[in-house]
Structure 1
């Protein structure tokens, strides 16, 4: 991140002329122009004052509700600023970071093999620098293959106020970025109840912007980290008083050593693309039956799955009859068996709007607009009050995933907005199911008491709105 480029982008966001900005900074326009072009830097002893004044000017001109979207071109990893002071602190850190990079270059400091590294103490400093560092590397190396490895503490109580607020803005997609998250089941099973939705949201978010994979290792994970292979290592720890601390490491020799040590821990991949899953099923055709025989306990469907499609409709849409029948068997067992069945309002609305129903491992089936209301009638028996395990509808903000849970194993399904880029994450734990059920029973996830009258009222409201025609 170069100071000149950063300032140029920030000034353009404010829509203040460069001459006016220079005057507000008590600089000459030519002096500012030299900084923007990279031909001059402020004195190093003036770094803090210069950074603060730039940040204050930018914050005064840009702060408003959801203003963080304005900065997405330079900070694709960012969070929503609650106050103008939050934005000032963030921009101060960003300008200081850019200046430090330029000072190191001018003074011939070797950033690849430094003799000292950087630590950031406290939740706010950690949050700011996590976003700034990540954004710098994503924008600088966006055309290169980027391999991230992480045990980022999404479910650590000391970091709970940091990571759930961080966003990777969905307007960005990095086809050459892979994000690999390592978990240890013992640690996962002992995590607090708040972790579940944050964990699922993180999976959905990372899958939207790159290629996300879950891995498990045998060793207990004692330290949390984020490694960008060949570029940096960020470690997270907690002081005795509970204060979080983040350490930023760039030494190339150590990065290589750390990566080799990590990969020697018998890491096993838990995530599979559609192609990988199909190949596995071709070699092991009984896997779906084995999953069903575990005993499907519950399913949570926050994307529109094709549970009520018929065998004839599926055979008409897909050529692989054997795989189609296996998937249909799993969907029917999930829907009509003794398992708890949950979906959310958003998935129903999404289906009505675009007519697309997901059939995992196969693709989508599109229902014409004129037929969608009749298709919804297939839900009626599940809505009936007399059905023992009726369909349960949630009305709250939920990650766009689907989870089918059998005893001891959850399959977490993610896809992109076009329902083409599928991922299946196989997690051998009851923890996700248990925390979702607890959140529903305690009311943290709002369950609607749907009956036939309320269902018909919902359909009437839904069909009064325009939908896509196919």
Structure 2
């Protein structure tokens, strides 16, 4: 982002006068006007004093609780500032970075083809510059479809150097694809990690902002990196005394070579969008039965998937008879298993209220009011008695997802609100069902065991609404 545009926006957010700002950076009002209109730039020798002065007047005027939200339009990658000094250092770095970019452009310094990399060290610089640099590229290419490649421990383990504080906001709804490398053997859902976070909740959160794809790798990445395709490579490491470091490489020739390295070193793709998943099933319909053959242990239902619709009742989806029959057979087989069955209160309420029934990788079916109780009754009747006995109602904020856990594999199905986007993520790990149950209980999520009387009372309540 041009410094002039950045300063103009920050002055507006701060609510200060341009006259006061000009005085803080040792410019006359007319000098500031020429700077903001692009007619004049600060001398290179004045960059440091300009950045300091600007940050000193802007930070006190902007800082308040959750002030990072006011800045997220300028910095899609940002974090919550806990003090005025936090904010001042961030603004100083952002303005200094923008001035350097303007200087390079003015004097035809082509940063994208320089052999040198930028280097930052200490925790504060690494945190600030990671946000500033990535935000700058997103601001420059607002109509561009961005693609990230990451080995950062987003799902398993702890992000280094306070990077876990980073928040992402996408107010312009830019199309951003995030390719994430995972070493499943290393991760293995260790108990000490599960005490920190639930990886499925994290994926749910990431999918709100990015088009997320997971890749299996057997390599042990000693260095964490983020590649923003065609733009920059951020490499996170540490000095011998453990001080965190950040290297930023922008040379386009090297970025292309590094992308080729990723293509060769990353393993199997473990995430598929709806179209990709349907193509896989068309090529090998036995994939679904193969999933059940692995021994279904638990089903977590956070979306109104309807397990008892017949292929004929799915006609509204527009899918072919073969596709409908294939999914009917799979869904019926799921509820005929003896797996633990968790269903969220929100999913049940959503079906009762709207009649929206989701048939994964097939489409949506709208159930009229007079048939909703009938389908809920059919579900109770057709579920395996052992599964029914082990059913629980769960109260959680997670939505639009289903988790199927087998002995050695876990499938996470996700769908957006209107059903236009679906995603499947595979996790090649054992005993996920046990870890999830332990995690939900540890976090004291409300779990209510199934009882026939409780279920009938709910059906009576739904019936009374439509009578």
Shorter-chain TM-score: which interval? 0.7 to 0.9
Pick closer, same or farther for the CA change 1:368–1:219 going to 2, 3 Å.
Answer: same
CA distance, structure 1, for counterparts of residue 462 and residue 125 of structure 2: 46
1:180 corresponds to: 179
Within a 5 Å distance, the mapping from 1:260-409 to structure 2 comes to 260-265=260-265, 267-307=267-307, 309=309, 312-315=312-315, 317-352=317-352, 354-368=354-368, 389-398=389-398, 400-409=400-409
* 3-state SS in 1 of match to 2:112: coil
- TM-score, normalised to structure 2, is 0.85
The answer as to 2:413 corresponding to 1:413 is yes
What is the alpha-carbon distance in structure 1 between the residues aligned to residue 53 and residue 304 of structure 2? 50
Tell me the secondary structure at the aligned position of residue 449 of structure 1. Answer: strand
Residues 97-108 of structure 1 aligned to structure 2 (within 5 Å):
97-108=97-108
What stretches of structure 1 of length at least 5 have no aligned partner? none
Q: CA RMSD in A?
A: 3.6
Q: Aligned pairs, how many? A: 464
- Contact kept? 1:225, 1:234, Cα under 8 Å: yes
Greater Cα shift, 275-284 or 374-383: 374-383
Q: Which residue of 2 aligns with 1:448?
A: 447
Deviates more, 1:71-80 or 1:348-357: 348-357
- In the TM superposition, what is the alpha-carbon distance from 1:313 to its structure 2 partner? 3.0
Aligned partners of 2:156 and 2:333: how far apart in 1? 36
- CA shift in 2, pair 1:300/1:54, >3 Å: farther
- CA offsets 1:394-413 (integer angstroms, 9 cap, x no match): 33443653221222222222
Q: Distance in 2 between matches of 1:464 and 1:27?
A: 72
Partner of 1:3: 3
Q: 1:130 to 1:463 in 2, by over 3 A?
A: farther
Q: CA deviation digits over 1:174-207, x for unaligned, max 9?
A: 23x3321122222332765249856435533444
SS at match of 1:364: strand
Structure 2 unmatched ranges of 5 or more: none
Label 1:341 to 1:49 Cα distance change in 2 as closer, same or farther (>3 A). farther
Distance 2:233 2:196 in 1: 25
Q: 1: CA distance between counterparts of 2:90 and 2:84?
A: 10
Measured in 1, the distance between the counterparts of 2:163 and 2:399 equals 15
Go from structure 1 to structure 2 and tell me whether the alpha carbon gap of 1:451 and 1:263 turns closer, same or farther (over 3 Å shift): closer
Q: 1:221 to 1:457 in 2, by over 3 A?
A: farther
Cα 1:186–1:88 shift into 2, 3 Å: same
The 5 Å alignment of 1:49-448 reads: 49-155=49-155, 157-159=157-159, 162-175=162-175, 177-189=176-188, 192-194=192-194, 197=197, 199-239=199-239, 243-265=243-265, 267-307=267-307, 309=309, 312-315=312-315, 317-352=317-352, 354-368=354-368, 389-398=389-398, 400-430=400-430, 432-441=432-441, 443-444=442-443, 446-448=445-447
Q: Greater shift after overlay, 367-376 or 312-321?
A: 367-376
Query: Cα distance, 1:374 vs. partner?
Result: 6.4
Q: State how far apart, in whole Å, the 1-side matches of 2:59 and 2:447 are.
A: 42
Q: 1:448 to 1:217 in 2, by over 3 A?
A: closer
**Cα distance in 1 between the residues matched to 2:352 and 2:402:** 18
TM-score normalised to structure 1 length: 0.84
How far, CA to CA, are the matches of 1:21 and 1:153 in structure 2? Answer: 41
Partner Cα separation in structure 1 for residue 339 and residue 189 of structure 2: 25
Give the Cα–Cα distance (whole angstroms) in 1 for the partners of residues 96 and 459 of structure 2. 55
Kept after mapping to 2: 8 A contact 1:172/1:209:
no
- 1:47 matched to 2:47: yes
